[in-house]
Amino acid sequence: MRRASVERNTKETQIKVAVDLDGTGKTAIATPLPFFGHMLDAFGRHSLLDLTLEARGDVEVDGHHTVEDTGICVGQVVREALGERRGISRYGDATVPMDESLARVAIDFGGRAAFVYQADALKGRKVGSFDAELAREFFSAFAQAALCNLHMEVQHGENAHHILEALFKAFARAVRQAVTLDPRDTNVPSTKGTLTA
């Protein structure tokens, strides 16, 4: 069973996350940042991960701690659910349009963290009260905690909502592809024989 759950409690945030990598995209998301919750819901649905997430944080300061710590927890729970990473496809990539916006994401659950983010169109932007630049903090925290390479690029776009939605959905589709079990190969997909050491 490729399932896991994590809980993180600090003076700034309280977060609980559970995931089933072999789910059907069922989600139960509770966060004090409505747009962020909408993006997490889209991630669960398009990745086909069953995702339960409850986040509370000091949003009266701003959303930074809540978004970053949620990224840490989602990365941790995916890493734990992957276990030895035996039999996974390991790599995933997706290019997703959202109206005038286009985003590309590539991921490698190879056991090392690296993060590249090219989304200049989001600098200084907001979607409602949500600071669009916080998406970078979520994805960076995910990559560090999940021990994956994550490359994200906004190829073009104008509307910040559309750009973020394209990014989250491309991320979801890339994760979905990478964590899928390959029926032809039940080994760890690495010449080293391990992706966790």
CATH numbers and ranges of domains, the chain: 3-179 (3.30.230.40)
Cα–Cα distance, 185 to 166 (Å, whole number): 31
Q: What is the pLDDT of residue 189?
A: 86
Question: Sorting pLDDT into bands at 50, 70 and 90, what band is 196?
Answer: confident
Taking residues 58-80, report their average pLDDT.
96
Q: What is the pLDDT of residue 140?
A: 98
Per residue in 97-108, pLDDT (tens digit) is 999 999 999 999
Taking residues 133-156, report their average pLDDT.
98
pLDDT for residue 25 is more than 90: yes
Cα–Cα distance, 77 to 20 (Å, whole number): 9
Question: Sorting pLDDT into bands at 50, 70 and 90, what band is 192?
Answer: confident
Residues 6+ apart with CB under 8 A from 125: 132, 133, 160
pLDDT for residue 174 is more than 90: yes
The least confident of 81-90, 170-179, 181-190 is 181-190
Q: What is the pLDDT of residue 37?
A: 97
* pLDDT more than 90, % of the chain: 91
Query: Residue 186's Cα: distance from chain center in Å?
Result: 25
Q: What is the pLDDT of residue 90?
A: 97
pTM for the whole structure: 0.96
Question: Sorting pLDDT into bands at 50, 70 and 90, what band is 185?
Answer: confident
Cα–Cα distance, 41 to 91 (Å, whole number): 23
